[in-house]
Amino acid sequence: MEIINFTPVPAFIGGALIGLSAALLLWAKGRVAGISGIAGGIILPVRGDLDWRIVFVVGLVLGGLLYQWIGLGAGVDHIRAVVDTPLLIIGGLLVGIGTTIGSGCTSGHGICGLARRSPRSLVATLSFMLSALVTVFIVRHVFGG
């Protein structure tokens, strides 16, 4: 295996910022920074707390754009999807279904849930990591992709 774009310092800083934002959201709003739940609350608002959700999602997008714009994301502009749009849509829908069934997503369970020592989040995180490993193995070694 060859690591093409090994960037430990930006990865460390990004991870620290993710942890900080999750901690600040928990402190300020008492809410877990699970992206699927936050985005779902924009699509189907339940409690009338739409404003902070929109600000959070816009901040995610603008943070990435700002990172690229100031030149820290050099070399990232060549990333592209290697599958057709319908397959991406199906994948997105399956992720949405999975986050609904699992009562959360990778950020909610893997970052926030594990930090709170939630047994349910540990099982969920182990489940989606195992699923990812099996999927990569099948795609790369069985189908040769």
Do 34 and 112 meet the contact criterion of CB atoms below 8 Å apart? yes
Residue type, 17: L
Do 113 and 120 meet the contact criterion of CB atoms below 8 Å apart? yes
Q: What is the pTM (predicted TM-score) of this model?
A: 0.73
CA distances from 24 to 13, 17, 31, 45, 118 (A): 16, 10, 9, 22, 19
pLDDT in tens, the chain (145 residues): 555 667 788 788 888 988 898 899 989 988 888 888 888 889 888 777 899 999 999 998 898 888 778 876 665 566 677 788 888 899 888 888 888 888 888 888 888 888 889 999 999 999 989 988 998 899 888 887 6
71: three-class secondary structure by DSSP: coil
What is the pLDDT, as a whole number, of residue 2?
Answer: 59
Unique residue bearing structure tokens 């608002």 = 45
